[in-house]
Amino acid sequence: MTLATLTDVLQPALRNGYAVAGLVTLGWEDMRAYAVAADALGVPVILQAGPSCRAHTPLPILGKMFRHLAQSVSVPVVAHLDHGYTFDECDEALQSGFTSLMYDGSRKPLLQNIDETARIAEMAHGAGISCEGEIGFVGYANGEASDGTDPAEAAKFARETGVDAMAISVGNVHLQQDQDGGLDEPRIRAIEAVTDIPLVIHGGSGVPAAQRFALATGSNICKFNIGTELRMAFGAALRTAVQNDPDRFDRVQILAETHDPVVAAARRVLSGFGHPGKEQT
């Protein structure tokens, strides 16, 4: 089994100048394609179950799916809860075999976010798994506006919560379908100056590929979450499969035709963050 915690994959990335992709899953077809792509490239991968995924499939089932995929490949696979909003939800993920919990208290006042995230981190560490928290608020394309991360607050958050990774708001936006923007690198450097914790970028699909690579290999950003970019690839492949034979109704046959295109898209994403092959052991 190659099941890993977030710390298992992010600390080597921090030491050796690369990043690991947190790939947002929605179902069996995409998560299997992501594991296959990572195995083919020889890179670790973080399989993420966010709120929409959990609305479709219960956490105990998702935990078994992630762990099954980890057994099927030779690279490290992290079973990660993305945007857990309550203690009970995080506890259920832990009991379901997840190896990493992301608690999202970013909409809450700073001290409340710290207190609640610290509680989740303590629970995770007591079980031998990892915890990610978020300071600042990463907004949504055509939705809630972002609230940029304050470096001093980030230092306090990292110090007082004990999280293993810290998601920050530095110009990134969830659900962005283009790469016309870019991240606020001076703010990133200011955060790096006051904490050495691995940093996480949510909404990584909207970050230009060149900047993703530069920051993956030249900053403390060790994890980029990628969802929209791969959902678009899956949707395009599914649309093509349906339109190729409008009379076909067997969803197993239709969904099978999404596999190769999604593997190819995932390989392109995974290739853009540096490579653990240069890691010194």
- Average pLDDT across the chain, whole number: 92
* Inside any domain, residue 186: yes
> Could you give the angle at which helices 151-161 and 110-126 cross, rounded to 10 degrees?
30
* Inside any domain, residue 278: no
d(CA 27, CA 228): 14
Structural domain of residue 87, as residue ranges? Answer: 3-273
State how many domains the chain has: 1
Q: Are strands 165-168 and 199-201 parallel, antiparallel or unpaired?
A: parallel
**Catalytic residue of the set 30, 82, 150, 164:** 82
> Is 82 assigned a catalytic role?
yes
Burial status of residue 207 (CB atoms within 10 A of its CB: 0-12, 13-18, 19 or more): buried
90-129 b/e with 16+ CB inside 10 Å = b? Answer: bbbbbebbbbbbbbbbbeeeeeebbebbbbbbebbeeeeb
Q: What is the pLDDT of residues 122-139, one digit of tens each?
A: 999 999 999 999 999 776
d(CA 150, CA 157): 10
Please report, for the domain that includes residue 57, its CATH number: 3.20.20.70
* pLDDT score of 279 more than 50: no
pLDDT at site 146: 63
* Inside any domain, residue 280: no
* Inside any domain, residue 92: yes
Q: What is the pLDDT of residues 213-246, one digit of tens each?
A: 999 999 999 999 999 899 999 999 999 999 989 8
Q: How far is CA 37 from the centre of its chain?
A: 16
* pLDDT score of 280 more than 50: no
pTM for this model (two decimals): 0.93
pLDDT at site 175: 57
